[in-house]
Amino acid sequence: MQITVSGLPGSGTTTISRLLSEFYDLELVSSGEIFRKMAKERGLSLAEFGALAEKDPSIDLDLDKNQKSIIQSRENIILESRLAGHMAEGRSNVLKVWIKAPLLTRVRRIQRREKAISFDEELDKTSEREKSEALRYKNYYGIDIKDLSIYDIVIDSEKWNQYQTLDILRVAIDAIVGPE
């Protein structure tokens, strides 16, 4: 079983991916965690590392090449990243999930998680990050991150908590691959 989970910052992709990974006993690869680790190794914030990635395409291109390799070479995996669904392009056996939530909801979640700055500062930071990422995706791959047509399932995480979202996804996954 291969599942991709994508969504914008604060939508709940990491939480849902972890829950799915635990429930189905699947390996979880989070490109967001890899990106954060890369930023930390360079002593940069996410925003600073994103700005560097705008100037140095090799950062994104290497990360995305790694995602493609993972989804093509491993079974029983959840690949979580903004572009995971796109990185699985052409693979018919992959369930592609997009988790969405309104910007203000996502910013409140990020602010709670980061516990560092005011809501307005986080709103500005998140908006800038999303613009930077959207620009890079468009420039590198011609991907419009707002086009959700490639996804099999789109779930609004503002409507359901993480366990209800897990239940929705479990019904979909079990209908496709059969219950465990």
Nearest-angstrom CA–CA distance, 60 and 66? 10
- Domain 2-177 fold is Rossmann fold (3.40.50)
> What's residue 157's pLDDT?
95
Residues with Cβ within 8 Å of 169's Cβ and at least 6 positions away in sequence, in order, are: 16, 20, 97, 153, 155
Give the model's pLDDT for residue 18: 96
180 residues of the chain, pLDDT tens digit each: 899 999 999 999 999 999 999 999 999 998 878 888 888 888 988 778 878 887 888 888 888 888 888 888 888 999 999 999 998 887 778 899 999 999 999 999 998 887 767 889 889 988 988 998 898 899 889 999 999 999 999 999 999 999 999 999 999 999 887 655
CA 13 to chain CA centroid, Å, is 5
Give the pLDDT of residue 106: 94
In the prediction, which pLDDT does 136 show?
Answer: 86
Tell me if residue 16 falls in helix, strand or coil: helix
